[in-house]
Amino acid sequence: MATNDRWQQYLDAGKAWTELTRAQAEAVVRDLVKAGDVQQKRAKKAVDELLDRSRKNAEELRKVVRHELQSQISALGIATQEDLARLERKLSKATSSKSAPKKTTAAKKASTGSSTAGG
């Protein structure tokens, strides 16, 4: 159970940096202004920077998760939508080429023999 608690802490920490709302950013900056770490005239810019960083962190996290999922799916050998589409094209091409009527040699001989026999 301790592992789950640690995992939840990691998720919560990541969430704090990827889902920061304007109100949360303003609260952080307000605390920084009170502590003297940020000047009041720079507060709005600091809020915007926090929100921008939050958006960038969220996008970076999405990229990492997407890459890891693709890597795991590839390692498992699970077919992707692209794999399935390629297979469908291959099957439809094979099916359409088999369904095209072909004249057999016997049929050709019969049709040529009947036209020459009559003339």
pLDDT tens for the 119 residues of the chain, in order: 456 676 677 677 677 667 778 888 888 888 888 888 888 888 899 889 988 988 898 898 889 989 998 888 889 988 889 999 999 999 998 888 776 665 555 555 555 555 554 44
Is there a domain that residue 57 lies in? Answer: yes
Distance between CA 66 and CA 17 in Å, rounded? 18
Decide if 43 is inside a domain: yes
Domain count, the chain: 1
What pTM was computed for the model? 0.49
> Is 1 within a domain?
yes
Q: What separation in angstroms does the CA of 88 have from each of 72, 101, 102? A: 24, 22, 24
CB 20 within 8 A of CB 51: yes
pLDDT at 45: 92
Residue range of the domain that includes 42: 1-81
- Domain-located, residue 95: no
The closest of 71, 76, 19 to 50, measured between CA atoms, is 19
pLDDT of amino acid 107:
55
| Position 91 in a domain | no
C-alpha pair distances (Å), 49 with each of 17, 35, 115:
12, 18, 88
The answer to the question of residue 10 being in a domain is yes
Residue 101 lies in a domain: no
User: Is 42 within a domain?
Assistant: yes
